[in-house]
Amino acid sequence: MKLWPQYGRKTSSESRRLLKPRESTVMPTESSSQDGNGLSLTLQPEILSRTPGAGSSMSPESTDVRVPVASADTGGRPSSRRPRAGTHRHGHAHAEAESDQSDSDPESRESSVSLSELHYLFRWVQKSLPFIIILGAKLVIQHVLGLAIGVGLFTTFLYVNKNIQAQVFLQDRRSALQCFWLLSFLTASSLLFYCTFQTESLYYCLVLFSPQVDTLDFWEVLWAVGVTSFILKFLCMGFKCLILLLPSAVMVYRRRGQWYMFLEELSQVYQVIAPVPPWFRYLVSSPEVDGTVGLTLGVILALLYLIFKLLGFYGQWGSLQKTMRNFLSYEVNGAPAVQSQCNEVGNICPICQAEFRQPRVLLCQHIFCEECIALWINQEKTCPLCRTVITDTVHKWKTGATSLYLQLY
C-alpha cells in the first residue's frame, strides 16, 4: 500500500506530462463505484514488478499506469482509486460473460428448434412409412420391365467383365470357346434389348441422335441414357472378346494389353458424348412454358449443359491422348537378356517357374520372360522381386477390365 505514493514520486515529470492527457481521457469513462476490493491482491504484484523502470520504460498504452500516476498528481486517496480500476475490469468481465451468454442463447435455441424439427420429420416418416412402402411397390410394378432390364444389363455386365479379365489373365491358355460364348452372350443381350424396346428406337442414342419419340420426359431420358451407356460398354467388351479370339501369332500379348486400354479409353470418351443429344433435346423443349420465354429459358439451360459437358470432355480427352501416345509407342520393359545372364540365375523365370521364354533383363538386373513381366507390369509399376520402379506409365485397363461408371448425363 505504501508503494503507491512512492511510485508516483519516482515517475519523472516528463512521463507525467506524457501521461496526463491520457488520464483526462480515461477519467470520465471510469466507474464511480467504490466496490471491487478483491482486485487489489492481483494489482499489487504487477506494480511491484513494474516500479523500477516505470518512469522511463513504461508504455504509455498501459492502462495499469494511468491509475497510480493520476492518484499521485491529484493527491487523491490511493485506496479510493484502486477499486475503481478494479470495478472497471470487474464490470467488463461481467459484460463479457453477459455478451457470451446472449451470443450462445440464440444458437442453443436454434439447435433445439432444428432438433424438434428433425424429431417432427422423423415422426412423420415413421407414421407414413406404410404408405411410402405401398407407393414404392406400385412404382416397382409400374416400371417392372424397366427395372428388370436394368438389373439384367447390370448382371450381364458384371459377368462378362469378370470373365474377360480372367481370359486375359490366362494369356495363351485362354479358352477360345469361352471367349466366343461371351461374345455371343453380349450380342444376344444387346439385340434382345433393342427388340424389346423397338418402338422407342433407343438405338438412335448409339449414333448420337435423340430417341425418335414425340415427347421426352425426365425418366425417359434418364432411362435411354443409362441403357445406352450399358450397351456401349457391351460393344467395347465385344471388341475385347474379338481381340481375345485372335491367335497369338497375329497379336502378341503385350500388344493386346495396349488394345484393351485404347478401346476402353475410346469407349469412355464416346460414353461422355452419347448422352448429349437426348439431354439437349430435353432441356431445349419446354412444353410447360409456351412462347419465346420457354424457348429462351430452354436454350439457356441447354447451353449451360453444353459448357458443363465440354469441361468434362476436356479432361477425358487428355486421358485419351495419353493412351494414344502409349498405344503408338509400343513400350517394352527392359532389354533382351543374353544366355550367360540367364544361366547365372539358373535359367528359371521367377514368375512362371519355367525356362525363360524371350528373357528380358530389367533396370535392377532381374530377368523374367517377356510375357510374364508384361503381365505383371500391367498391374504394377515395380519389379516383382526387389520393388525397383520400372515404369512411370499408368497402365489402366490393360487387364481387359471395363469401367463400371454409368454415364447418366
Residues binding Zn ion (CB under 5 A)? 349, 351-352, 364, 366, 369, 372, 383, 385-386, 388
Q: How far is CA 28 from the centre of its chain?
A: 59
- Closer to Zn ion by CB, 68 or 334: give it: 334
Rounded to the nearest whole angstrom, what is the least distance from the CB of residue 360 to Zn ion in the complex? 10
- Closer to Zn ion by CB, 337 or 372: give it: 372
Rounded to the nearest whole angstrom, what is the least distance from the CB of residue 347 to Zn ion in the complex? 11
Rounded to the nearest whole angstrom, what is the least distance from the CB of residue 383 to Zn ion in the complex? 3
Q: Which residues is 359 bridged to in the sheet? A: 369
156 CB-contact burial (10 Å; exposed 0-12 / middle 13-18 / buried 19+):
buried
C-alpha 319/C-alpha 261 separation (Å) is 11
- Closer to Zn ion by CB, 81 or 366: give it: 366
- Closer to Zn ion by CB, 104 or 388: give it: 388
- Closer to Zn ion by CB, 160 or 369: give it: 369
- Closer to Zn ion by CB, 56 or 388: give it: 388
- Type and span of the H or E element at 359: strand 359-361
Rounded to the nearest whole angstrom, what is the least distance from the CB of residue 151 to Zn ion in the complex? 41
- Closer to Zn ion by CB, 147 or 252: give it: 252
- Closer to Zn ion by CB, 44 or 399: give it: 399
C-alpha 56/C-alpha 67 separation (Å) is 17
Rounded to the nearest whole angstrom, what is the least distance from the CB of residue 275 to Zn ion in the complex? 44
C-alpha 367/C-alpha 345 separation (Å) is 8
C-alpha cell at 305: 449443359
Rounded to the nearest whole angstrom, what is the least distance from the CB of residue 364 to Zn ion in the complex? 3
Rounded to the nearest whole angstrom, what is the least distance from the CB of residue 282 to Zn ion in the complex? 54
Rounded to the nearest whole angstrom, what is the least distance from the CB of residue 391 to Zn ion in the complex? 13
Contacting residues for 90 by C-beta, under 8 A, at least 6 apart: 35, 36, 38, 39
Rounded to the nearest whole angstrom, what is the least distance from the CB of residue 224 to Zn ion in the complex? 48
Contacting residues for 72 by C-beta, under 8 A, at least 6 apart: 4, 5, 7, 8, 9, 11
Q: How far is CA 24 from the centre of its chain?
A: 60
Rounded to the nearest whole angstrom, what is the least distance from the CB of residue 278 to Zn ion in the complex? 49
- Closer to Zn ion by CB, 254 or 366: give it: 366
C-alpha cell at 391: 515404369
- Closer to Zn ion by CB, 103 or 392: give it: 392
> 40-71: string of b/e by CB count within 10 Å (b at 16+)?
eeebeeebeebbeebbeebeeeeeebbbbbbb
61-64: Cβ within 8 A, 24+ apart? 63/26
Count CB-CB contacts under 10 A for residue 376. 17
Three-state SS for 60? coil
Rounded to the nearest whole angstrom, what is the least distance from the CB of residue 403 to Zn ion in the complex? 30
C-alpha 261/C-alpha 272 separation (Å) is 17
C-alpha 220/C-alpha 282 separation (Å) is 10
- In the chain, the amino acid numbered 221 is V
- Closer to Zn ion by CB, 118 or 386: give it: 386
Nearest to 368 by CA among 250, 256, 246, 254: 254
